Each structure stands twice: as C-alpha cells, then as structure tokens.
C-alpha cells in the first residue's frame, strides 16, 4: 500500500500552529508577527507558537540534508518534511500528534521527554546544536526544495532512536537545542517563585524586567550556544506573567506552609529510617560480641 505523503496545503493548514506567526525573508533583518496568509509568503516562518511545541525541527548544516533525512538503512523515522536550499543545507521536521505545552503551567515530564527526543534526532542527522528552533525554512516557499514525508503525525514515543539520551546534561554549558529552553524555563521558574514575595508590592513591569534580567544574565549567558533575545524574552514573559497573575499573599503563604509540612514529614521519615538502621547495626555488633 502506497504511503500518503504530506502536501503544501496540509502543512499550511494543520502543521503550522500560530494564528499570527513570526516570519521574515531575512533573519538578520529581524522577524515580525503577521497574518498567516502574509507569513506563508515569507522564506522563514514560525512553525509553533512559544506556548506549544507542534513539531520538532532540526537544522542540518550539511550539503546532503535530504539524504541524511531519508537515507536507508537508518534508525530514525521518516521526517514529515525537509526544506533545503540549493546548497543542500536545510531544516528537517517531524510533526507531533499532540502539541506539547511550554508555558509555566506545563507538565515538565513531556517537555523533558521532547528535549531528549530532539537530542537523539539531532545526533541521527548531524544537526546544529546552536539552532534555536523557532523559525524554519517555509516548506511552501519557492526558494526551497521541499521533500515531504508521511502525512500522519507522530507520537513522541515513535521518534525515540538508539541515540536518544536517557538523561540530559544538567549543566547549562552543555545544553543545546530545545534543551536550552527547558533549562531556562526550569531554572528561572524555580528562582522566580520565592523571589516574587520580595517584589510583590512593585509593578508588573518591574517584575517582568527582573525575571528577564535573570534569564539573560544568569541562565542564557551560561549556555555554550546562547538563545536569541526573542526566545529569552518569550520564556521570561511566560514565567513572570503566569506568576503575577496566579500568585497572591494568601496563596503564597499556604503554598509555603504545605511545602514546609512535606519537608517536615520527609525529615521525620529520614530520621526514623536512620535510627532504625543504627539500631540494626548496633544489634548486629552486640550479637557478634556475644559469640
């Protein structure tokens, strides 16, 4: 049975998620939000909004992008599309069946899984670890040669390869690709939760500037391949605005009280376990002495 391949129309209607994507003809000139119709005429386009990851895209800076994407035998599934320049360098994309939330209200387990999957696919095709993943070569633009793969989207689990890491490096210096977004999101939100209490009486603008400054100076500057400012700004706004909207003095005190109780219970359990272990060790020593 012949495989049904993706089409330009399916990519534009189903794969492209943003209602008003960022797009540009020259990334060096900046990117701007515009209507889907106008964005689809640009050479580079935002395939997923910052809040949702709808596709995993790898930048392959090699002259044989299509071969690396569709070669056989290989350990990665066929990509949904490949858009390459006349030089052979291009972007390889896998369309996800269920978009993954990337805001502060996200469950981190799927996001971390996506980070590992992306890392494995990047190794498989020799992708660029410095690629930010936001703008991709527009597959339906005439400047690119586009090869389409299967029209059916993938579950994340279907994109696991032998090179998918079991655990990502924790040091920011070693973060790459989507891993930088996850590291920044995770690090900044943990810092921002308790920090809100000390700045709750200021303005929202002051709070947003504070979180952005932390993301830039304390997190992004530590990356071997820093994220572009637009990505840092989007992540910092997601965190700062969610906290500002959802935190209150009463709620914060309740959260701290709950955490304190949990920690107390854990400490008590640890003390009991330690005392039990010491009692067992002591009884063993006494038994040995009596022999």
Is the pLDDT score of 252 beyond 80? no
Is the pLDDT score of 1 beyond 80? no
Q: What is the pLDDT of residues 109-132, one digit of tens each?
A: 888 899 899 999 999 999 998 897
Is the pLDDT score of 68 beyond 60? yes
> Is 54 buried (19+), middle (13-18) or exposed (0-12) by CB count in 10 A?
buried
Which residue(s) pair with 81 in the sheet? 93, 148
Q: What is the pLDDT of residues 131-153, one digit of tens each?
A: 978 899 999 999 999 999 999 99
User: In the chain, what percentage of residues exceed pLDDT 70?
Assistant: 83
Q: What is the pLDDT of residues 40-65, one digit of tens each?
A: 999 999 999 988 999 999 999 999 99
pLDDT at res. 278: 67
Q: What is the pLDDT of residues 80-98, one digit of tens each?
A: 999 999 999 999 999 999 9
> Is 233 buried (19+), middle (13-18) or exposed (0-12) by CB count in 10 A?
middle
Q: For the chain, what percentages of helix, strand and coil (3-state, to nearest 5) are there?
A: 50, 15, 35
Mean pLDDT check: name the lowest of 37-51, 89-103, 181-195: 181-195
pLDDT grade for 24, boundaries at 50, 70 and 90: very high
Cα–Cα distance for residue pair 58/141, rounded to 1 Å: 18
Place of tokens 């002051």: 206
Answer whether 75's CB lies under 8 Å from 122's CB: no
The pTM of this model reads 0.74
């Amino acid at each position: 049975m012949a495989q049904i391949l993706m089409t330009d129309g399916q990519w534009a209607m189903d794969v492209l998620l943003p209602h008003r994507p960022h797009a540009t003809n020259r990334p060096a000139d900046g990117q701007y939000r515009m209507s889907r119709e106008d964005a689809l005429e640009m050479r580079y386009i935002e395939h997923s909004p910052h809040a949702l990851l709808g596709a995993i895209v790898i930048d392959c800076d090699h002259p044989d992008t299509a071969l690396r994407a569709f070669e056989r035998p290989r350990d990665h599934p066929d990509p949904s599309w490949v858009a390459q320049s006349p030089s052979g360098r291009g972007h390889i994309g896998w369309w996800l069946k269920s978009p993954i939330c990337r805001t502060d209200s996200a469950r981190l387990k799927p996001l971390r899984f996506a980070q590992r999957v992306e890392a494995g696919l990047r190794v498989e095709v020799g992708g660029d670890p410095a690629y930010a993943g936001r703008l991709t070569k527009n597959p339906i633009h005439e400047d690119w040669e586009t090869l389409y793969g299967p029209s059916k989207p993938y579950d994340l689990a279907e994109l696991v390869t032998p090179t998918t890491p079991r655990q990502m490096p924790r040091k920011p210096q070693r973060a790459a690709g989507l891993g930088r977004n996850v590291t920044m999101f995770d690090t900044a939100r943990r810092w921002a939760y308790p920090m809100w209490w000390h700045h709750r009486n200021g303005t929202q603008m002051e709070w947003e500037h504070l979180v952005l400054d932390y993301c830039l100076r304390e997190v992004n500057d530590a990356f071997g391949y820093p994220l572009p400012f637009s990505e840092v700004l989007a992540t910092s706004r997601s965190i700062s605005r969610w906290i500002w909207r959802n935190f209150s003095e009463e709620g914060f005190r309740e959260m701290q009280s709950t955490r304190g109780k949990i920690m107390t219970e854990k400490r008590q359990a640890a003390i009991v376990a330690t005392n039990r272990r010491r009692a067992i060790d002591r009884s063993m020593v006494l038994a040995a002495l009596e022999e």
